[in-house]
Chains A and B, each alone.
Chain A
Amino acid sequence: MNPNLQQLQSVNSLSGLLFGELVLERSYKTLTQPVANLQTKQVVTANVARITEPAIITDLRSLREEERNTADPITIRAFSDAVALLEFVHLVLNDAPRALLAADSEGGIRIEWLRDNRTIRVVIPAAEEQPAYIYQRLGRESDIKQFSKSSVVQALRSVILAP
């Protein structure tokens, strides 16, 4: 038997139809141009606002580059936590003073805001299991606080931005 005929016979084109039910006729029209042309010539417009990266995030990327070839490059955890914090601070406190960023020699990041004798420091260790923390100092008085992005903003408001 012709193999093509055998293949046709094995497919029941009337499967699922009731006896006497009309079979819908299908019609195909030839496209006037190839499908690829329809896609490439399609004009897509969107209103996208130009977003400028905060300068402190650029500083952070530079720090990561500086550390890339050291024995202890900045870890993904430290970098991503630092980005999230600095973006949050930038969003909430647009007038916050520029932070100083430093590597801790073990893949962690230290972020510091200074004003006169006031300090807010966020310590983000390299490893996930080591919790980040906030150090704040006013003159000789200092304290350690549990880290959260909102706690940092609160500390900046009460220590650095307070009159």
Chain B
Amino acid sequence: MAEMDAAQFPRIYRAITRKSWYDANSRKVSHAAFVLRSRDTGLSVLKAVGCSRDNCLASLDPCFGEFVLDTNRVTDLGLTVVDDELDSADFSENHAEITNIPINPVTNEEKKRVEDLASDLAEISSLHYDRYDKFA
């Protein structure tokens, strides 16, 4: 997989598919937004956004908006942001994945790495788009 060009895309966007991923009172992004599912190979992100209430560029339902992250701060954590494979069946030019996160952690060391990364990614994220004004 080819590494995404951070100069061309200095910011990446993570779709908010769970309302509980952002706490409006404390204005905190939940670490849960950055935990892989067992079937994932990486964390899905968009390279450019411009969603509206009627149009979701990630084609997700539900999608409550997006978090924004600086690409360099993501790679500083030892993670890699990769473009979709050109010959992949679900290739999208606007889609990338944050990789190098342990998948299905078993040992305490792997769990610790997963939780540390989820905390760090939440820390460097902020709310970019609130689709339904749920977080006001």
Contacts and interface: CB of A to CB of B under 8 A. Distances in A.
B116 A142 contact: yes
Interface of A: 63, 66-67, 70, 100-106, 110, 112, 114, 119, 121, 123, 133, 135, 137, 142-144
Nearest to A101: B20
Nearest to A136: B115
24 contacts: A66-B19, A100-B23, A100-B26, A101-B20, A102-B31, A102-B32, A104-B32, A105-B35, A106-B37, A110-B30, A112-B30, A112-B31, A114-B26, A119-B119, A121-B115, A123-B111, A123-B115, A133-B111, A137-B116, A137-B119, A142-B112, A142-B115, A143-B112, A144-B115
A140 B30 CA distance: 18
A143 B10 CA distance: 32
Contacts, number: 62
Contacts of B111: 123, 133, 135, 144
Interface of B: 17-21, 23, 26, 28, 30-33, 35, 37-38, 62, 108, 111-112, 115-116, 119
Contacts of A133: 108, 111
Nearest to B18: A103
Q: What does DSSP make chain A's interface, helix, strand, loop or mixed?
A: strand
A133 B28 CA distance: 22
B20 A102 contact: yes
Contact of A102 (B30, B38, B112): B30
A103 B115 contact: no
Given A66-B19, A119-B119, A137-B119, A103 B32 contact: yes
A135 B112 contact: yes
